[in-house]
Structure 1
Amino acid sequence: MRFPEHVDVAIVGSGPCGAAYARVLSERAPTASIATFEVGPLLADPPGVHVKNIASAQERARAQRLSEGPAPRDGAASTDTMDGYADDAPRLARPGTFLLPSGYRQPGEDGLPGAAMSSNVGGMGAHWTGACPRPGGSERIAFVPDLDDLLAEAERLLCVDAHAFDDAPFAAEVRKRLGAAIDAGRGGDRRVQPMPLAVRKDAGGRVTWSGADVVFGEPTRGNPNFSLHSQALVTRVLVDGDRVRGVQIRDMRDGTVHDVRARYVVVAGDSLRTPQLLWASGIRPRALGRYLNDQPQTVFAVRLRDIAPDPAAETDPRDKAEIVPQSGVSWVPFTDDEPFHGQVMQLDASPVPLADADEPLPGTIVGLGWFCAKDLQESDRIEFDDREGDAYGMPAMRIHYRLTERDHAAIEASRNAVRRAAEALGEPLDDAPLTFDPGASLHYQGTVRMGERDDGTSVCSPASQVWDVTGLHVAGNGVIPTATACNPTLTSVALAVAGARAIAADLTAERN
Structure 2
Amino acid sequence: MSAAGRLPGSVDVAIVGSGPNGAAYARILSEQAPGSRIAMFEVGPTVTEPPGAHVKNLVDPAAQAAAERRSQGPSADAATLSSPAAVVAGRRQARPGTFLLPDGFAFDGEDGLPAVAMSSNVGGMGAHWTCACPRPGGSERIPYLPGLDELLTDAERVLGVTATALEDAPFAELIRRRLSAAIDDGRSPATRVQPMPLAVHRRADGQLVWSGSDVVMGEVTRSNPHFTLYDEALVTRVVVEQGRAAAVEVRDLRSNEVSTVRASFVVVAADALRTPQLLWASGIRPAALGRYLNDQAQVVYAARISGADTTIEPPAAGAISQHSGVSWIPFTDELPYHGQVMQLDASPVPLADDDPVVPGSIVGLGLFCAKELRWDDRLEFADDRTDSYGMPAIRVHYKLTEHDHRTLDQARDEIVRMAKAIGEPLGDVPITLPLGASLHYQGTTRMGESDDGTSVCGPDSEVWSVSGLFVAGNNVIPTSTAANPTLTSVALAIRGARRIARELRAEGAQP
Q: Structure 1 residues 238 and 502 mapped into 2: Cα distance closer, same or farther (>3 Å)?
A: same
Alignment partner of 1:481 is 2:478: yes
Q: Give me the whole-angstrom Cα distance separating, in 1, the residues matched to 2:204 and 2:315.
A: 23
**CA offsets, 1:270-291, max 9 Å, x none?**
1000000000000001000000
Aligned to 2:410: 413
Of 456, 462, 468, the match for 1:465:
462
Q: Does residue 43 of structure 1 match 2:42?
A: no
- Tell me if structure 2 keeps the 8 A contact 1:84–1:92: no
Instruction: Give the corresponding residue for 2:76.
Output: 72
CA distance in 2, matches of 1:134, 1:290: 24
Q: Equivalent of 1:4, from 3, 8, 12?
A: 8
How far, CA to CA, are the matches of 1:83 and 1:410 in structure 2? Answer: 21
Using the TM superposition, give the Cα deviation of residue 185 of structure 1 relative to its aligned residue in structure 2, in angstroms: 1.2
Query: Would you say 1:246 and 2:247 are equivalent positions?
Result: yes
Amino acid at match of 2:202: K
Contact 2:321–2:346 (8 Å) recurs in 1? no
Q: Is the 8 A contact 2:322 2:360 kept in 1?
A: no
Give the corresponding residue for 1:314: 313
Contact 2:28 2:498 in 1 (8 A): yes
Q: How many residues align?
A: 505
Aligned to 1:94: 95
One-letter amino acid of the counterpart of residue 295, structure 1: Q
Q: 1:341 matched to which residue of 2?
A: 338
Map of 1:380-459 to 2, 5 A cutoff?
380-459=377-456
SS in 1 for 2:89: coil
Q: 1:249-308 CA distances to partner (integer Å, 9 max, x unpaired)?
A: 011112111100000000001100000000000000100000000000000000011011
**What is aligned with 1:55?**
59
* Residue 166 (structure 1) shift: 1.3
Q: Which segments of structure 1 move beyond 4 Å, counting only runs of 4 or more?
A: 82-87, 316-319
1:203 positional shift = 1.8
Measured at CA, do residues 84 and 236 of structure 1 come closer, stay the same or move farther in structure 2, by a change above 3 Å?
Answer: same
Does the CA-based 8 Å contact 2:221-2:227 persist in structure 1?
A: yes
Q: CA deviation at 1:91?
A: 2.7
Q: 3-state SS of the aligned residue for 2:28?
A: helix
Aligned to 1:108: 109
- Please list the CA deviations of residues 341-366 of structure 1 after superposition, one character each: whole Å capped at 9, or x if unmatched: 00001132224326434324321100
Contact 2:87 2:115 in 1 (8 A): no
Q: Equivalent pairs: percent with the same residue?
A: 62
SS state at 2:23 partner:
helix
SS of the equivalent of 1:174 reads: helix
1:329 match: 326
Alpha-carbon contact 1:299-1:351 (below 8 Å) kept: no
Counterparts in 2 of 1:298 and 1:415: CA distance versus 1, 3 Å: same
C-alpha deviation, 1:89, in angstroms: 3.6
Confirm or deny: 8 A CA contact 1:17 1:268 kept in the other structure. Answer: yes
After TM superposition, give the deviation of residue 70 of structure 1 in Å: 1.3
For 1:495 and 1:47, locate their aligned partners in 2 and report how far apart those are by CA, in whole Å: 23
Q: Deviations over 1:148-172 (max 9, x none)?
A: 0000000000100111111112110
Hey, what's the Cα distance between the residues in 2 that align with 1:4 and 1:127?
30
TM-score (norm 1): 0.96
Question: Cα–Cα, structure 1 residues 114 and 84, in superposed 2: closer, same or farther, change >3 Å?
Answer: closer
Corresponding position of 1:373: 370
Q: Could you say what secondary structure the match of 1:168 adopts?
A: coil
Instruction: Give the corresponding residue for 1:212.
Output: 213
SS in 1 for 2:299: strand
**CA deviations over 1:72-108 (Å, ceiling 9, x no partner):** 135xx56x73486686244351000000111001121
Paired with 1:328 and 1:357, the residues of 2 have a C-alpha distance of: 19
Contact persistence 2:88–2:433 (CA under 8 A): no
Query: Which position in structure 2 is the counterpart of 1:363?
Result: 360
Give the conservation status (yes or no) of the 8 Å contact 2:196–2:327.
yes
**Is 1:27 equivalent to 2:31 in the alignment?**
yes
Relative to structure 1, the CA distance from residue 191 to residue 86 in structure 2 (aligned partners, 3 Å threshold; closer, same or farther) is farther
Q: TM-score, normalised by structure 2?
A: 0.96
In structure 1, C-alpha distance between the alignment counterparts of 2:386 and 2:168, rounded to whole Å: 51
SS in 1 for 2:507: helix
Bigger Cα displacement from structure 2, 348-357 vs 212-221: 348-357
Pair 1:188-2:189 in alignment: yes
Is the Cα–Cα contact under 8 Å of residues 345 and 351 in structure 1 kept in the other structure? no
SS in 2 for 1:386: strand
Give 2:225's aligned residue: 224
Compute the displacement of 1:51 (Å). Answer: 0.6
* Farther-moved stretch of structure 1 (65-74 vs 377-386): 65-74
3-state SS of paired residue (1:70) = helix
Q: Which consecutive residues of structure 1, in runs of 5 or more, have no partner in the other structure?
A: none
Larger CA deviation: 87-96 vs 37-46: 87-96
Q: What's the secondary structure of 2:390's corresponding residue?
A: coil
* Residues 497-512 of structure 1 mapped to structure 2, 5 A cutoff: 497-511=494-508
Paired residue type of 2:314 = T
Partner AA of 2:145 in structure 1: V
Q: Give 3-state SS (helix, strand or coil) of 1:236's partner.
A: strand
Q: CA RMSD in A?
A: 1.6
**Is the contact between residue 443 and residue 478 of structure 2 (CA under 8 Å) also seen in structure 1?**
yes
Does 2:306 correspond to 1:302? no
- The worse-fitting range, judged by mean Cα deviation, of 345-354 and 34-43 is 345-354
Equivalence for 2:157: 156
Sort the Cα spacing of 1:308 and 1:104 in 2 relative to 1 into closer, same or farther, 3 A. Answer: same
Per-residue deviation, residues 409-468 of structure 1 (Å, max 9, x unmatched)? 111111011111111111111100000121110100000000000000000000000002
1:38 shift after superposition: 0.2
1:487-508 deviation per Cα after TM superposition (whole angstroms, max 9, x unaligned): 0000000000000000001111
Once residues 506 and 54 of structure 1 are traced to their aligned partners in structure 2, the CA distance between those partners, rounded to angstroms, is 39
Alignment partner of 1:236 is 2:231: no
Q: 1:121 to 1:499 in 2, by over 3 A?
A: same
